[in-house]
């Protein structure tokens, strides 16, 4: 069963409460998403570490329930 974008956002928000999150369904099938996640928690972390934090928030659903997630991460510029 595909994941809903709101479910993905809720899981990321639970792990990164301050995150600004934008999720787009790339194929309209609930399996292929692009996400932009900006969080102050990423400060001082490499891009790989940032992505690992987001994948960790998804609790093992990547590659299974969630087939593909194109991920862009960064620290907010406020």
Element (H, E) at 2: none
Q: pLDDT averaged over the chain? A: 89
Q: What's the rounded Cα separation, in Å, for the pair 34 and 66?
A: 11
CA-only gyration radius of the chain, Å: 12
Q: Identify whether the C-beta of residue 76 lies closer than 8 Å to the C-beta of residue 39.
A: yes
The rounded average pLDDT for each run of 10 residues, N- to C-terminus, in the chain (78 residues) is: 85 96 88 92 97 90 74 91
Q: Dihedrals φ, ψ of 50, to 5°?
A: -60, -45
The third-level CATH classification (topology) of the domain covering 5-74 is GMP Synthetase; Chain A, domain 3 (3.30.300)
**pTM score over 0.85:** yes
Question: Where along the chain do its domains lie?
Answer: 5-74
DSSP state of 66: B
Tell me what pLDDT residue 52 has: 94
């Amino acid at each position: 069963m595909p994941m809903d974008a709101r479910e993905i956002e809720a899981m990321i928000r639970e792990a990164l409460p301050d995150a600004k999150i934008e999720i787009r369904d790339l194929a309209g099938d609930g399996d292929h998403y692009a996400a932009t996640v900006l969080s102050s928690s990423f400060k001082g972390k490499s891009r790989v570490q940032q992505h690992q934090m987001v994948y960790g928030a998804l609790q093992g659903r990547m590659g299974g329930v969630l087939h593909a997630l194109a991920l862009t991460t960064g620290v907010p510029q406020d």
